[in-house]
Amino acid sequence: MRSFFTPSLFLLFSLITGCSLITLPYDVTKGVINGTVCIVKGTYELTAGTAKVLYKIGEFTYEVVRAPADWALTHEEIETIDGLPAKEAIRQGRVKDSVYTVNGKTYYPMSFEAAQNYSDEGIASWYGDETIRKNGNMTANGEVFNPGGLTAAHKYLPLPIHAKVTSIENGRSVVVRVNDRGPFPCADNPGSGDRIIDLSAGAARKLGFYEKGTTKVSVEVVRLAKGHNP
């Protein structure tokens, strides 16, 4: 397998908690595949044209795999992204902070710069068990959706980005990779669109609300700052 890596860099992983800034050192590998990608303690594997990324942030492990183009979206109600059919926008890499429409309603995600200071409190739910019965699902940025992973859907954050989600009920926290859109209102539960974040079942288990279904959380974007070689 060809190597796409240059020597290790140093990353300062910064979590914003209230007014305090916590910086943690991590080894980073910087590679170039369709752009410049910094992976925290991670590696790329390329198999049969599919890019697979494995990386860790603290105690949490993430696996990112590009979904086959013929897989259904987790939210097939997404009509357009950046003015294009959803799948075409994903193919062209035009998701990120692009405007998109769902059931005739237009959503305007924030820019990456604006998202760096994002924090909010509200109700979180979890989604994804229903996709186990299908042949596989694609997130809104083209990744394989894994219900057991540590991922999330958000209506307005740019994709992908990482966020620290904390249960206000029990104080547990998890860092999730935000790679999908939602939650959106549905016919049998219009109020579901008022929830601020949809977590994977795996993240819901970490926070201890899998059985309950919803819980009140705080959400803060995790900021990454590139530093110097150690």
pLDDT at 187: 75
Tell me: do 137 and 195 sit in the same domain: yes
Domain with 62, as residue range(s), is 9-67
- What amino acid occupies position 88? E
pLDDT at 58: 80
Tell me: do 85 and 165 sit in the same domain: yes
Tell me: do 61 and 154 sit in the same domain: no
pTM score of the predicted model: 0.78
pLDDT at 131: 75
pLDDT at 95: 96
Tell me: do 107 and 15 sit in the same domain: no
Question: How many structural domains is the chain composed of?
Answer: 2
Tell me: do 93 and 198 sit in the same domain: yes
Tell me: do 80 and 41 sit in the same domain: no
Confirm whether 82 is domain-assigned. yes
CB atoms within 10 A of CB 17: 13
Tell me: do 153 and 53 sit in the same domain: no
Distance CA 216, CA 218 (A): 7
Distance CA 159, CA 98 (A): 9
pLDDT at 92: 95
Contact (Cβ atoms closer than 8 angstroms) between residue 102 and residue 109: no
CB atoms within 10 A of CB 101: 15
pLDDT at 214: 96
What CATH number does residue 81 fall under? 2.40.40.10
Tell me: do 126 and 43 sit in the same domain: no
Tell me: do 119 and 188 sit in the same domain: yes
What stretches in the chain show pLDDT beneath 50?
1-49, 225-230
Confirm whether 118 is domain-assigned. yes
pLDDT at 16: 26
First-to-final CA distance of the chain: 29
pLDDT at 51: 65
Confirm whether 1 is domain-assigned. no
173-180 and 151-153 beta bridge pairing: parallel
Distance CA 147, CA 169 (A): 23
**3-state secondary structure labels for all residues of 8-47:** CEEEEEEEEECCEEEEEEEEEEEEECCCEEEEECCEEEEE
Choosing from 47, 67, 87, the residue where a domain stops is: 67
Tell me: do 150 and 121 sit in the same domain: yes
